[in-house]
Structure 1
Amino acid sequence: MKLAPASLSMLEREYRRVGFYLILPALIGLVLFRLYPIIASFFISFTDWNVFGGGEWVGLENYFEIFSSKEGRLILLNTLLFAVIYVPGIFFIGLALALALNSGFRGAAGMRALYFLPYITSTVAITLTWRWIFSTRFGLLNNLLLEFGLNNPPAWLGDPTWSLYTVVFVAVWRDSGFYMILFLAGLQTVDQQLVDSARVDGANRWEVFRHVTLPLLAPTSFFVILIAMVRSTQTFEITYALTGGGPNQSSTTLSFYIYQNAFIHFDMGYAAALAYVLCIVVGGLTLVHHQLRGKWSYV
């Protein structure tokens, strides 16, 4: 029995109405908890509003302060330096681990799990462990350096020269296993016949990697770079638990600086401006990534 066109139309409208009612709670939540905060924080970034009062329109003053103040420039420089070290470090270490553990030797599965374990462990727990290791007076690392004859080992967490590098080191150590898994997944897509053909033609391991494996890993590599760039601007827990952003803001990056201004100094206008600067930075990095991917991707 065939339904008349009018009946089909009524039935379709009823289905659409039911579907709309089903997604309405999610839409309300999206508007209240995503869209509204984005719009509200944008307008707040042009004011001097804080939780104790204020709210006067200051225009672009908050944005100018980020780039004109000494502290603001330091935070931006710290964020850039963090990314410059973190992204290449995580890329090469993750790729090296994946290549080493892709051969399928006995115990490889256990080694993969071992390297991935820090990523799924509580960040605060592993950071406190590293805080003890890097402790100036009682830390394992400085005690080892003293045993090897270095009488004045660095204050890894208390010296502005070393604090940011220490935070980056712990971040790379924690995240390496995650990027190793991404590269291992990418290596499974490499056509083994191409690898075997290259070896038959006389290519050594380096030549196979350079001319076969690496080009075929281009999509995975660009994805890893994108994720690493975004994560490098969002590091918070490690900074909070390891150094608290100190000493003298030497290890503070943009994401942690937003937290300081919003929830310690309660300067919501300035914090909102910082958040939008961070969004612009991440968006710019993403755009550059896609442009380079279009030029250099082999597949």
Structure 2
Amino acid sequence: MLLKKKWREYSGPYLMVLPCVILLALFTIYPMGWAFKYMFYDYDGFSDARFIGMDNFVRLFTRDAEFWQSVRNTGVFTFGKLIVTLPLALILAFILNQSRLFGKNTIRAILFMPTIISAAVISLVFYLMFNSYNGIINNVLIQFGIIQSPIEWLGIKYSMATAIIVAIWGALGNYMVLFLAGLQGIPNDLYEAASLDGANKTQQFIHVTIPMLGPVMQIIIMLAIVNTLKSYEGIMVLTAGGPVGKTEVMYLYIYKLFFPVSEGEAVVQQYGYGAAAGFVSALIVGIITGLYLFISRKSSESH
């Protein structure tokens, strides 16, 4: 009788959570367990898996210069994107948070719109725009006399900068909305008090907005770091990691191990090695995130 009563009391919440638990087990826990197993195997998905111990990790750390180049590219891409996107998103959010700004809701919607568009679609559009010979970017610059000949935006020299520009455009609205949510939690009384003390908008931004936004900003920066370190879809469509690996980031490199690009008949999946590379990449992301959280926490405690 007691068991029946307990079931009636708690069955509803457990049944509501059950679908999420099942999906989590199927699409997160099981794939993680599968990858953890096969990173110690030589396995291509077709032939029998052969246990090789730590050989995949030895190869990764001693013989795979391409992977470590992708790690460096990821660092450059992440720094270049966030150093522009986050300050710009914060400034836009501060401006759009003003109550008297005309058409602010329309501007917010326009800036946020790229966030709801697929990264692949965005990159395809920008690929056509940055095309060296018939892209609109070069045509406009030539017509205004800014350049004399087409620039190879997707070539060796400018490909990473182009990828960063596309990433900034796609992510700016998302971070702007997050900052805007944080700004709306700051009491107006603080701005009124600062205004009475003679502080202008810039001084209010530095001495009121930034300190009050600190906790929210820590979370936004952490999410931005993790999402950027893991992103690869846009670069895959824009440059496919080229030319000569100049824009190949960590998770694009791992994607190619699992789903290699066909070059004639030489198509070999490297599931075991890809799992090992994925594990090391996850460790790199975790370490960077942990270091950021440690530094930000120490900074908060010191203030």
Task: Normalising by structure 2, report the TM-score.
Answer: 0.87
Distance 2:4 2:204 in 1: 63
Specify the alignment match of 1:154 in structure 2.
Answer: 151
Specify the alignment match of 1:189 in structure 2.
Answer: 185
Specify the alignment match of 2:74 in structure 1.
Answer: 79
Specify the alignment match of 2:58 in structure 1.
Answer: 64
Query: How much has 1:170 moved relative to structure 2?
Result: 0.3
- Give ranges in structure 1 of 5+ residues lacking alignment: 1-6
CA 1:12–1:45 in 2, change beyond 3 Å: closer, same or farther?
same
Contact 1:44–1:268 (Cα < 8 Å) also in 2: yes
- Give ranges in structure 2 of 5+ residues lacking alignment: 261-267
Letter in 1 for 2:129: I
Letter in 2 for 1:291: F
Specify the alignment match of 1:123 in structure 2.
Answer: 119
Letter in 2 for 1:241: V
Letter in 1 for 2:295: L
CA 1:210–1:260 in 2, change beyond 3 Å: closer, same or farther?
same
Distance 2:89 2:16 in 1: 43
Query: How much has 1:163 moved relative to structure 2?
Result: 1.2
CA 1:185–1:13 in 2, change beyond 3 Å: closer, same or farther?
closer
Query: How much has 1:60 moved relative to structure 2?
Result: 2.6
CA 1:21–1:200 in 2, change beyond 3 Å: closer, same or farther?
closer
- Higher mean C-alpha deviation, range 8-17 or range 46-55: 8-17
User: Is the counterpart of residue 38 in structure 1 residue 35 in structure 2?
Assistant: no
- Equivalent pairs: percent with the same residue? 32
Distance 2:116 2:12 in 1: 40
Letter in 2 for 1:85: G
Query: How much has 1:27 moved relative to structure 2?
Result: 4.2
Query: How much has 1:72 moved relative to structure 2?
Result: 1.5
- Higher mean C-alpha deviation, range 264-273 or range 53-62: 53-62
Contact 2:128–2:135 (Cα < 8 Å) also in 1: yes
Specify the alignment match of 2:219 in structure 1.
Answer: 223
1:1-299 correspondence runs (5 A): 7-8=1-2, 11-12=5-6, 27-68=21-62, 69-104=64-99, 105-147=101-143, 148-157=145-154, 159-264=155-260, 265-297=268-300
Letter in 2 for 1:118: P
Letter in 2 for 1:70: A
CA 1:82–1:54 in 2, change beyond 3 Å: closer, same or farther?
farther
Contact 2:96–2:104 (Cα < 8 Å) also in 1: yes
Query: How much has 1:70 moved relative to structure 2?
Result: 2.0
CA RMSD of aligned residues (A): 2.4
Distance 1:189 1:17 in 2: 37
CA 1:61–1:162 in 2, change beyond 3 Å: closer, same or farther?
farther
Contact 2:67–2:253 (Cα < 8 Å) also in 1: no
CA deviations on 1:34-64 (whole Å, 9 max, x unpaired) are 2222112012112221123252223333223
Query: How much has 1:180 moved relative to structure 2?
Result: 0.5
Query: How much has 1:286 moved relative to structure 2?
Result: 2.5
Contact 2:163–2:238 (Cα < 8 Å) also in 1: yes
Report the structure number with the largest CA radius of gyration. 1
- Higher mean C-alpha deviation, range 192-201 or range 175-184: 192-201
Query: How much has 1:127 moved relative to structure 2?
Result: 1.8
CA 1:100–1:283 in 2, change beyond 3 Å: closer, same or farther?
same
Distance 1:112 1:27 in 2: 36
Letter in 2 for 1:275: G
Contact 1:86–1:228 (Cα < 8 Å) also in 2: no
- Higher mean C-alpha deviation, range 229-238 or range 22-31: 22-31
Task: Normalising by structure 1, report the TM-score.
Answer: 0.88
- Higher mean C-alpha deviation, range 286-295 or range 227-236: 286-295
Distance 2:289 2:86 in 1: 17
Letter in 1 for 2:152: A
Query: How much has 1:185 moved relative to structure 2?
Result: 0.6
Query: When the two structures are aligned, how many residues end up with a matched partner?
Result: 292
